[in-house]
Amino acid sequence: MYSTKTTSILPKIISGVLAAVLLLPMLIFTALPNTMFGYNSAMDQGVADFTASARRLTNAYQNIAQKNQSALERLVNSILPGFSDYDDYQVTDGSGGMNQNWLIAIGSVRYKQDLNVMDGDALEDLLFGKLDYSASITDRVLNISVWDLTPEVYMNRLGFSQAEKDWASLLYSVMEEDQRVSIGDTDGTGYYGTDYGDITFSNAATPVVYYNQTDARWGNESYGKTSTIGRAGCGPTALAIAVASLTNNKVTPYDVARWSVANGGLCEGSGSYHSLIPNGGRHYGLTVTSIGRDGKKLVEALQEGKLVIAIMSKGHFTNSGHFIVLRGVTEDGKLLVADPASVKRSNKEWDLRIVTSEASRKVGSAGGPFWVLSP
């Protein structure tokens, strides 16, 4: 249950930490509009009603681009009556930069995690509320510039108490799986922005075309409004490696990044949604199967010449979240990888235990953390 008491709702003592750990899954379950919870398992009317509401909200978020456009038009239409001495107007749209996980977290707190009110109209109100603008007339043209508030400023606008801000921040941190890489995640300053040329790994059942996300040929190309392929494009790069290796389609990270942006794979400000892998893989003609955390199936797939894309959490491969390709297994059971951020890590052999233990535990409707890809 949500509380608006002025005292902090975050853990204040060790017992509070325990309570948060126990309650958090339920709170996330009732707060977040996603399909990771098996809505089809509803057994009674109450759960069925919850399921229906969750589906509606999920659909609303899946159509967020349309909702963003509606919110923008609503803002512009509210601005125009305040000006009279102009013949035409133009809008410079700089909105869309707020990380969607922040939007979900703020919305969950604003609507007190009530799925009965968290519908498409509420989402549009939420999108409208995060917009700010400036307007001026030059040569009888009304120039309107629109942008997103920062999460902190938006929460202030909504009148959030510190407890509410803390709760939104906690929800955000649970959802967020930041795939943006630092120099330390790559092979270092001497490699970042280098043209890696043509690299193929041939020491496993399937020869693998290697791409590095920081490669000078595409690393500085945009991935969304706020990042680049080099910074946050491990997902498109991993998928490009798999497609180029398993098909005759030599797509590049640039190609897959463009597809991802156009088809809902981009998680603005963070990287890519897990759904990029199954959806993008199938788009490029691959068979994609999620195997959960099954290490036995993982090894069997690699022995059969298939590739496996993994989403990793903090550990040997990343400080937060990172897609890599598992490309083979040695005779003594070590795993071979194609790490989009590091040739050095790609040339090492890895214990299965390291990979399975460090794989992300944030699994939703898209499956994972391991996806088997085959022609």
Q: pLDDT tens digit string along 28-82?
A: 434 443 333 333 433 455 545 555 655 666 666 666 777 888 899 999 999 999 9
Domain count across the chain: 2
60 and 114 share one domain? yes
Q: How far apart are CA 360 and CA 314, in angstroms?
A: 8
- Tell me if 9 is assigned to some domain: no
Note the pLDDT of residue 65: 72
154 and 237 share one domain? no
Q: CATH number of the domain that 365 lies in?
A: 3.90.70.10
Min mean pLDDT across 56-70, 102-116, 186-200, 252-266 is at 56-70
Looking at the whole model, is its pTM more than 0.75?
no
The residue with greater pLDDT, 60 or 18, is 60
Range(s) of the domain holding residue 342: 183-374
132 and 230 share one domain? no
Mean pLDDT of 102-115: 81
Residue 370 has pLDDT above 80, yes or no: yes
Query: In this predicted model, what pLDDT tens digit does every residue of 171-224 receive, in sequence order?
Result: 776 565 667 776 666 776 666 678 899 999 999 999 999 999 999 999 999 998
- Tell me if 42 is assigned to some domain: yes
Beta strands 131-138 and 88-94, pairing class: unpaired
78 and 32 share one domain? yes
Residue 110 has pLDDT above 50, yes or no: yes
> Where a domain ends, among 174, 206, 228?
174
Compute CA 77 distance to the chain's CA centroid, rounded to the nearest angstrom: 32
Q: How far apart are CA 133 and CA 145, in angstroms?
A: 5
Share above pLDDT 70 across residues of the chain, in percent, rounded to a whole number:
78
111 and 260 share one domain? no
198 and 94 share one domain? no
153 and 197 share one domain? no
Q: How far apart are CA 181 and CA 342, in angstroms?
A: 11
331 and 220 share one domain? yes
139 and 193 share one domain? no
Note the pLDDT of residue 174: 57
Note the pLDDT of residue 61: 64
Mean pLDDT of 319-335: 95
- Tell me if 141 is assigned to some domain: yes
> Where a domain ends, among 174, 206, 237?
174
Note the pLDDT of residue 349: 97
- Tell me if 5 is assigned to some domain: no
The residue with greater pLDDT, 93 or 47, is 93
Residue 365 has pLDDT above 80, yes or no: no
Mean pLDDT of 314-338: 94
Residue 255 has pLDDT above 50, yes or no: yes
Note the pLDDT of residue 286: 98
- Tell me if 261 is assigned to some domain: yes
237 and 190 share one domain? yes
Note the pLDDT of residue 105: 86
- Tell me if 239 is assigned to some domain: yes
312 and 281 share one domain? yes
> Where a domain ends, among 146, 174, 202?
174
- Tell me if 216 is assigned to some domain: yes
Note the pLDDT of residue 3: 30
103 and 188 share one domain? no
Share above pLDDT 90 across residues of the chain, in percent, rounded to a whole number:
56
Residue 7 has pLDDT above 60, yes or no: no
Unique residue bearing structure tokens 């799986």 = 177
- Tell me if 6 is assigned to some domain: no
Q: How confident is residue 363, by pLDDT bands cut at 50, 70 and 90? A: confident
